[in-house]
Chain A
C-alpha cells in the first residue's frame, strides 16, 4: 500500500548525497514501497535539506529487522560514548 504516513524530525548534522556533503535540516521516516530495495515495503529514511532542493537527500531503504537493529546500534553507540560527546551543546 502507499501509506503516505511520514514522521518528520528536525536534525542537525551533515549528509553526503549525489552532489557531495551538505548540511541536514530534517529527516523523514516512513514505511512504504521502496525505490530500489527488493522488498514490497521498507522502512525508509530521507535525510534532507529542503532549502537546497529535492536533490539534497541521503536516502536509505531498510527491512524492518535492519531498521530496528540500526535503532539499537545507535542507542548502543551513544551509550558507549561519554554522555554529551556528540551533543550540539556538549556543555549541557
Chain B
C-alpha cells in the first residue's frame, strides 16, 4: 500500500485573479488521482479542516482548502481571521465561487491528476458546496449539514446568506447530503424539501439523516461529535468520491 502524501501551504490564483493562500495535500508517487476542494467552515481555515485535507490525501486524493479569509485577514490566526470576517458579514457568494474555481483549476493542473474534481463542505461550507456545484462543472459534491440552502435565514442575518435552492436546476454533479435528525439548521424538513426538488429535477443525489445526531456531528473536537454517525458518514463520503472521482 502506498499511502505516502505531502501537505503544506501553497498560493493559488482565485477565479477572479486574486492570489490566495490554500492548504494542499496530495499523494506522492501516484498518478490518476482525483481532486477534492475542501471548503472550511465558518470558524475558519483551522487545524481540524487541514486534518481533513490530509485525510483525503492519505486515501489517494489531492485535496485543497482555499483560505476564504486570506484577503481580509492575511497571516492572521484562523480564529482571529474568522472573527474579523464574521464582523464584516461573512464571505460573499461571488467570492466563494471564484475561490473554488481557482482551487479546481489548481487541482486539475497537478501532475498525475485525473481531471475529476469534487467538493465538500460542512456547516456554512455545506451550503457553499451546493452553491459551487451549481455554479461550475464538478464531478461530485458533498453537503454536510449546510443550512439556508432552502429556507430563508432570520431577517437579521447578513445578505450573504441567501437560500440557493433556485440554483438547483444548474446542479452539475451528483450530490451526497449528510445530515443530523436533531439539527435545526438545516432541519430534516428543509433537507427533505431539497431532496424533493432534486427528485423533481432528476438530479442525482443521496441523502442520509442520522438519528441521535445534531449539527456538526463530524467535529471530533466538539461536544456535538457523534461517533456512529461520523464513522458511517466518512464511509459514505469515501464510497461516493470513489465512485465519482475515479478515472
Contacts and interface: CB of A to CB of B under 8 A. Distances in A.
Interface of A: 1-6, 8, 26, 28, 30, 32-33, 35, 38-40, 46, 48, 50, 53-55, 57, 59
Given A5-B154, A33-B42, A54-B73, A40 B224 contact: yes
A30 B76 contact: no
Interface residues of B, number: 35
Contact of B124 (A2, A39, A53): A2
Contacts of B216: 33, 40
Contact of B222 (A3, A5, A40, A46): A40
Contact of A48 (B87, B147, B223): B87
B79 A35 contact: yes
A4 B77 contact: no
Contact of A50 (B84, B123, B157): B84
Interface of B: 41-43, 72-73, 76-77, 79-84, 86-87, 89-90, 123-124, 147, 153-154, 156-158, 160-161, 184-185, 214-216, 222-224
A39 B43 CA distance: 14
A32 B157 CA distance: 13
A6 B223 CA distance: 23
Contacts of B87: 6, 8, 26, 28, 46, 48, 50
Contact of A5 (B41, B43, B156): B156
Given A33-B222, A40-B215, A40-B222, 20 more contacts: A1-B184, A2-B42, A4-B89, A4-B160, A5-B157, A28-B86, A28-B87, A30-B86, A33-B42, A33-B43, A33-B123, A35-B82, A40-B223, A48-B87, A50-B84, A53-B76, A54-B76, A54-B81, A54-B84, A57-B84
